[in-house]
Protein backbone atom coordinates (compact mmCIF):
# COMPACT_ATOMS: atom_id res chain seq x y z
CA UNK A 1 0.00 0.00 0.00
CA UNK A 2 1.58 3.24 -1.14
CA UNK A 3 0.70 6.92 -1.52
CA UNK A 4 2.04 8.85 -4.50
CA UNK A 5 1.57 12.62 -4.62
CA UNK A 6 0.94 13.78 -8.18
CA UNK A 7 0.28 17.39 -7.22
CA UNK A 8 1.07 19.21 -3.99
CA UNK A 9 0.46 22.88 -4.77
CA UNK A 10 -2.31 25.19 -3.63
CA UNK A 11 -4.64 27.09 -5.95
CA UNK A 12 -2.62 27.27 -9.15
CA UNK A 13 0.18 25.16 -10.64
CA UNK A 14 3.74 26.41 -10.27
CA UNK A 15 7.10 25.40 -11.70
CA UNK A 16 7.72 23.21 -8.65
CA UNK A 17 4.25 21.89 -7.83
CA UNK A 18 1.21 20.84 -9.79
CA UNK A 19 -2.24 21.14 -8.19
CA UNK A 20 -3.87 18.52 -5.98
CA UNK A 21 -3.95 14.82 -6.79
CA UNK A 22 -2.92 11.78 -4.74
CA UNK A 23 -2.77 8.12 -5.77
CA UNK A 24 -3.33 5.29 -3.30
CA UNK A 25 -1.75 2.16 -4.76
CA UNK A 26 -3.74 -0.92 -3.71
CA UNK A 27 -2.49 -3.22 -6.45
CA UNK A 28 -1.32 -5.85 -3.97
CA UNK A 29 -4.42 -5.58 -1.82
CA UNK A 30 -7.11 -5.18 -4.50
CA UNK A 31 -5.42 -5.10 -7.90
CA UNK A 32 -6.56 -1.48 -8.21
CA UNK A 33 -5.58 2.13 -7.57
CA UNK A 34 -7.65 4.90 -5.99
CA UNK A 35 -7.31 8.60 -6.82
CA UNK A 36 -7.96 11.46 -4.40
CA UNK A 37 -8.68 14.73 -6.20
CA UNK A 38 -7.79 15.36 -9.80
CA UNK A 39 -6.42 18.83 -10.41
CA UNK A 40 -5.41 20.18 -13.80
CA UNK A 41 -2.77 18.06 -15.62
CA UNK A 42 -3.19 15.04 -13.35
CA UNK A 43 -3.12 12.81 -16.42
CA UNK A 44 0.24 14.32 -17.40
CA UNK A 45 1.61 13.63 -13.93
CA UNK A 46 0.47 10.00 -14.12
CA UNK A 47 2.64 9.58 -17.20
CA UNK A 48 5.68 10.05 -14.95
CA UNK A 49 4.64 7.03 -12.83
CA UNK A 50 4.11 3.33 -13.43
CA UNK A 51 0.40 3.59 -12.66
CA UNK A 52 -1.96 2.52 -15.44
CA UNK A 53 -5.06 4.75 -15.71
CA UNK A 54 -7.25 1.71 -16.37
CA UNK A 55 -6.36 0.42 -12.89
CA UNK A 56 -7.96 3.46 -11.24
CA UNK A 57 -11.41 2.30 -10.14
CA UNK A 58 -12.41 4.80 -7.42
CA UNK A 59 -11.98 8.57 -7.47
CA UNK A 60 -12.61 10.58 -4.30
CA UNK A 61 -13.07 14.33 -4.71
CA UNK A 62 -12.66 16.38 -1.54
CA UNK A 63 -14.36 19.54 -2.86
CA UNK A 64 -15.25 21.33 -6.06
CA UNK A 65 -12.65 24.10 -6.25
CA UNK A 66 -10.95 24.05 -9.63
CA UNK A 67 -7.49 23.05 -8.40
CA UNK A 68 -9.04 19.78 -7.25
CA UNK A 69 -11.32 18.87 -10.20
CA UNK A 70 -10.22 20.55 -13.45
CA UNK A 71 -8.19 17.52 -14.48
CA UNK A 72 -11.08 15.08 -14.13
CA UNK A 73 -12.74 15.32 -17.59
CA UNK A 74 -9.39 14.96 -19.34
CA UNK A 75 -8.31 12.04 -17.21
CA UNK A 76 -11.60 10.18 -17.74
CA UNK A 77 -11.35 10.73 -21.48
CA UNK A 78 -7.74 9.53 -21.69
CA UNK A 79 -8.53 6.48 -19.58
CA UNK A 80 -11.06 5.46 -22.22
CA UNK A 81 -8.44 5.80 -24.98
CA UNK A 82 -5.93 3.79 -22.93
CA UNK A 83 -7.89 0.52 -22.78
CA UNK A 84 -9.99 1.51 -19.79
CA UNK A 85 -13.22 -0.49 -19.98
CA UNK A 86 -14.02 -1.23 -16.32
CA UNK A 87 -16.39 1.03 -14.35
CA UNK A 88 -15.21 4.05 -12.38
CA UNK A 89 -16.88 5.21 -9.18
CA UNK A 90 -16.66 8.92 -8.43
CA UNK A 91 -17.30 10.04 -4.86
CA UNK A 92 -17.67 13.70 -4.06
CA UNK A 93 -19.85 16.58 -2.86
CA UNK A 94 -23.09 17.57 -4.55
CA UNK A 95 -22.33 19.00 -7.98
CA UNK A 96 -19.54 16.63 -9.02
CA UNK A 97 -21.88 14.61 -11.24
CA UNK A 98 -23.17 17.71 -13.01
CA UNK A 99 -19.62 19.00 -13.55
CA UNK A 100 -18.36 15.77 -15.10
CA UNK A 101 -21.42 15.03 -17.21
CA UNK A 102 -21.63 18.59 -18.55
CA UNK A 103 -17.93 18.58 -19.47
CA UNK A 104 -18.22 15.26 -21.28
CA UNK A 105 -21.48 16.14 -23.04
CA UNK A 106 -20.33 19.55 -24.31
CA UNK A 107 -17.05 18.08 -25.59
CA UNK A 108 -18.95 15.09 -27.07
CA UNK A 109 -16.69 12.71 -25.18
CA UNK A 110 -17.96 9.13 -25.20
CA UNK A 111 -16.41 6.82 -22.64
CA UNK A 112 -15.98 3.09 -23.16
CA UNK A 113 -16.88 2.39 -19.56
CA UNK A 114 -19.68 3.33 -17.16
CA UNK A 115 -19.37 6.07 -14.54
CA UNK A 116 -21.10 5.75 -11.18
CA UNK A 117 -21.50 8.86 -9.02
CA UNK A 118 -21.93 8.76 -5.26
CA UNK A 119 -22.71 12.00 -3.45
CA UNK A 120 -20.94 11.93 -0.09
CA UNK A 121 -22.15 12.86 3.37
CA UNK A 122 -20.80 12.22 6.85
CA UNK A 123 -20.46 8.52 7.58
CA UNK A 124 -19.60 5.34 5.67
CA UNK A 125 -19.50 5.82 1.91
CA UNK A 126 -17.81 2.55 0.90
CA UNK A 127 -17.71 -0.85 2.55
CA UNK A 128 -16.31 -3.83 0.66
CA UNK A 129 -14.47 -7.02 1.57
CA UNK A 130 -11.19 -5.21 2.22
CA UNK A 131 -11.84 -1.58 3.17
CA UNK A 132 -14.27 0.82 4.81
CA UNK A 133 -14.15 4.48 3.77
CA UNK A 134 -15.68 7.23 5.91
CA UNK A 135 -16.36 10.83 4.91
CA UNK A 136 -16.35 13.87 7.18
CA UNK A 137 -17.33 17.40 6.20
CA UNK A 138 -14.56 19.82 7.08
CA UNK A 139 -14.58 23.62 7.39
CA UNK A 140 -13.96 25.37 4.09
CA UNK A 141 -15.56 28.05 1.91
CA UNK A 142 -17.56 25.38 0.08
CA UNK A 143 -18.41 21.82 1.21
CA UNK A 144 -15.09 20.01 1.62
CA UNK A 145 -14.56 16.50 2.92
CA UNK A 146 -11.93 14.36 4.54
CA UNK A 147 -11.74 10.64 3.82
CA UNK A 148 -10.70 7.99 6.33
CA UNK A 149 -9.69 4.71 4.70
CA UNK A 150 -9.69 1.74 7.07
CA UNK A 151 -8.27 -1.55 5.90
CA UNK A 152 -10.11 -4.41 7.52
CA UNK A 153 -8.06 -6.62 9.84
CA UNK A 154 -6.03 -9.27 8.07
CA UNK A 155 -5.71 -12.95 9.08
CA UNK A 156 -2.65 -13.67 11.22
CA UNK A 157 0.36 -15.68 10.14
CA UNK A 158 0.19 -19.44 9.82
CA UNK A 159 1.66 -21.17 12.86
CA UNK A 160 4.08 -23.29 10.85
CA UNK A 161 5.49 -25.01 13.91
CA UNK A 162 2.03 -26.16 14.95
CA UNK A 163 1.29 -27.46 11.46
CA UNK A 164 4.51 -29.45 11.45
CA UNK A 165 3.67 -30.87 14.88
CA UNK A 166 0.42 -32.06 13.29
CA UNK A 167 2.49 -33.83 10.62
CA UNK A 168 1.59 -31.39 7.84
CA UNK A 169 4.64 -30.69 5.69
CA UNK A 170 5.18 -27.37 3.88
CA UNK A 171 3.60 -27.06 0.45
CA UNK A 172 0.55 -25.74 -1.38
CA UNK A 173 -1.60 -27.15 1.42
CA UNK A 174 -0.43 -24.32 3.68
CA UNK A 175 -2.01 -21.72 1.39
CA UNK A 176 -5.16 -23.78 1.19
CA UNK A 177 -5.38 -23.92 4.97
CA UNK A 178 -4.90 -20.16 5.27
CA UNK A 179 -7.59 -19.38 2.69
CA UNK A 180 -10.32 -21.68 4.00
CA UNK A 181 -12.15 -21.92 7.32
CA UNK A 182 -11.94 -25.71 7.17
CA UNK A 183 -9.53 -27.89 5.19
CA UNK A 184 -9.85 -31.67 4.83
CA UNK A 185 -6.46 -33.31 4.27
CA UNK A 186 -6.00 -36.31 1.93
CA UNK A 187 -5.87 -38.62 4.96
CA UNK A 188 -9.23 -37.27 6.14
CA UNK A 189 -7.83 -35.14 8.95
CA UNK A 190 -9.79 -31.88 9.42
CA UNK A 191 -7.90 -28.63 10.04
CA UNK A 192 -9.72 -25.56 11.30
CA UNK A 193 -7.98 -22.36 10.22
CA UNK A 194 -8.64 -20.61 13.54
CA UNK A 195 -6.56 -23.26 15.31
CA UNK A 196 -3.40 -22.69 13.26
CA UNK A 197 -3.37 -18.92 12.77
CA UNK A 198 -1.77 -16.27 14.94
CA UNK A 199 -3.67 -13.14 16.04
CA UNK A 200 -5.31 -11.00 13.35
CA UNK A 201 -3.15 -8.18 11.99
CA UNK A 202 -4.64 -4.71 12.35
CA UNK A 203 -5.36 -3.12 9.02
CA UNK A 204 -3.81 0.19 8.02
CA UNK A 205 -5.67 3.48 8.46
CA UNK A 206 -5.12 6.45 6.16
CA UNK A 207 -6.83 9.82 6.60
CA UNK A 208 -6.78 12.28 3.69
CA UNK A 209 -8.18 15.73 4.42
CA UNK A 210 -9.38 18.22 1.85
CA UNK A 211 -8.97 21.98 2.27
CA UNK A 212 -10.03 23.08 5.73
CA UNK A 213 -9.56 25.35 8.68
CA UNK A 214 -8.14 23.79 11.82
CA UNK A 215 -10.87 22.54 14.12
CA UNK A 216 -10.52 20.25 17.13
CA UNK A 217 -13.75 18.53 16.10
CA UNK A 218 -11.77 16.72 13.38
CA UNK A 219 -9.34 15.09 15.80
CA UNK A 220 -11.46 11.98 16.34
CA UNK A 221 -11.88 11.47 12.61
CA UNK A 222 -8.09 11.16 12.21
CA UNK A 223 -7.57 9.27 15.49
CA UNK A 224 -4.82 6.61 15.38
CA UNK A 225 -4.25 6.90 11.63
CA UNK A 226 -1.08 5.33 10.32
CA UNK A 227 -0.86 8.31 7.96
CA UNK A 228 -2.61 11.68 8.00
CA UNK A 229 -2.45 13.72 4.80
CA UNK A 230 -3.27 17.31 5.64
CA UNK A 231 -3.06 20.65 3.90
CA UNK A 232 -0.56 23.25 5.11
CA UNK A 233 -1.27 26.20 2.86
CA UNK A 234 0.25 28.78 5.20
CA UNK A 235 3.19 29.18 7.59
CA UNK A 236 2.61 29.42 11.33
CA UNK A 237 2.77 33.23 11.43
CA UNK A 238 -0.15 33.56 9.00
CA UNK A 239 -2.93 32.20 11.21
CA UNK A 240 -5.28 35.09 10.42
CA UNK A 241 -4.76 34.67 6.68
CA UNK A 242 -5.35 30.92 6.97
CA UNK A 243 -8.58 31.50 8.86
CA UNK A 244 -9.84 34.12 6.42
CA UNK A 245 -9.24 31.83 3.44
CA UNK A 246 -10.49 28.67 5.18
CA UNK A 247 -7.07 26.99 5.28
CA UNK A 248 -4.61 25.61 7.82
CA UNK A 249 -1.10 26.54 8.94
CA UNK A 250 1.76 24.09 9.40
CA UNK A 251 1.53 24.48 13.16
CA UNK A 252 -2.21 23.81 13.23
CA UNK A 253 -1.89 20.68 11.10
CA UNK A 254 0.85 19.41 13.43
CA UNK A 255 -1.36 20.08 16.47
CA UNK A 256 -4.13 18.02 14.90
CA UNK A 257 -1.72 15.15 14.18
CA UNK A 258 -0.45 15.29 17.75
CA UNK A 259 -3.93 15.35 19.27
CA UNK A 260 -5.12 12.50 17.03
CA UNK A 261 -2.05 10.38 17.88
CA UNK A 262 -1.31 9.56 14.27
CA UNK A 263 1.93 7.86 13.30
CA UNK A 264 2.92 9.98 10.31
CA UNK A 265 1.92 13.42 9.04
CA UNK A 266 2.28 14.27 5.35
CA UNK A 267 1.74 17.94 4.53
CA UNK A 268 0.55 19.04 1.10
CA UNK A 269 -1.37 21.86 -0.67
CA UNK A 270 1.63 24.17 -0.27
CA UNK A 271 1.31 27.77 -1.42
CA UNK A 272 3.62 28.78 -4.28
CA UNK A 273 5.09 31.46 -2.01
CA UNK A 274 7.04 28.71 -0.23
CA UNK A 275 9.84 27.40 -2.41
CA UNK A 276 13.25 25.93 -1.67
CA UNK A 277 14.40 26.81 1.84
CA UNK A 278 11.02 28.34 2.65
CA UNK A 279 9.37 24.97 2.09
CA UNK A 280 11.91 23.36 4.40
CA UNK A 281 11.03 25.97 7.02
CA UNK A 282 7.42 24.76 6.89
CA UNK A 283 8.58 21.29 7.83
CA UNK A 284 10.66 22.62 10.71
CA UNK A 285 7.66 24.56 12.03
CA UNK A 286 5.52 21.43 12.06
CA UNK A 287 8.32 19.24 13.42
CA UNK A 288 8.61 21.30 16.60
CA UNK A 289 5.12 20.05 17.50
CA UNK A 290 4.89 16.68 15.75
CA UNK A 291 8.17 14.89 14.96
CA UNK A 292 7.10 12.47 12.23
CA UNK A 293 6.37 14.86 9.40
CA UNK A 294 7.20 15.25 5.71
CA UNK A 295 6.43 18.07 3.32
CA UNK A 296 5.20 16.21 0.25
CA UNK A 297 6.48 17.24 -3.16
CA UNK A 298 5.29 16.16 -6.58
CA UNK A 299 6.01 12.42 -7.07
CA UNK A 300 6.81 11.95 -3.39
CA UNK A 301 6.00 8.37 -2.40
CA UNK A 302 5.18 7.03 1.03
CA UNK A 303 4.77 3.30 1.67
CA UNK A 304 2.44 2.29 4.46
CA UNK A 305 4.05 -0.60 6.31
CA UNK A 306 2.70 -2.60 9.23
Mean pLDDT value of segment 6-15? 96
CA distances from 233 to 53, 248, 249 (A): 29, 6, 6
Per-residue pLDDT tens digits for 162-220: 888 888 888 889 888 888 889 988 888 889 888 888 888 899 999 999 999 999 999 99
Nearest CA to 91 out of 149, 13, 8, 29 is that of 149
Do the Cβ atoms of 269 and 231 come closer than 8 Å?
yes
- Strands, E assignment, 152-204: 182-184, 190-192
Instruction: Give CA–CA dist 242/263, Å, rounded.
Output: 25
Nearest CA to 144 out of 229, 62, 61 is that of 62
Query: What is the structure's pLDDT at 224?
Result: 98
Of 25, 67, 211, 298, the catalytic one is 67
Domain ranges in the chain?
2-154+201-303, 160-195
Single pTM value for the model: 0.92
The CATH topology of domain 2-154+201-303 is Metallo-beta-lactamase; Chain A (3.60.15)
Please list, in sequence order, all residues whose beta carbon lies within 8 angstroms of the beta carbon of residue 137, skipping any fewer than 6 positions away: 121, 122, 143, 144, 145
Q: Does residue 67 have an active-site annotation?
A: yes
Per-residue pLDDT tens digits for 135-170: 999 999 999 999 999 999 988 888 888 888 888 888
The answer on pLDDT for 276 being more than 90 is no
Helix (H) or strand (E) holding 42: helix 42-46
Amino acid sequence: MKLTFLGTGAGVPSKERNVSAILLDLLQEKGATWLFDCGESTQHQILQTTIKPRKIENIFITHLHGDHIYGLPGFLSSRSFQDGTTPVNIYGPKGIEAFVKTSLEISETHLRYPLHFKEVADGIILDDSDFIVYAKQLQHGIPSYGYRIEQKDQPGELLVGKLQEMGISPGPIYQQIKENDVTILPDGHVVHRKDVLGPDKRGSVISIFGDTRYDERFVEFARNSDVLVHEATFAKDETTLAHDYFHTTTEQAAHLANQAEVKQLLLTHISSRYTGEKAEQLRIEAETIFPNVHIAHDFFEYEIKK
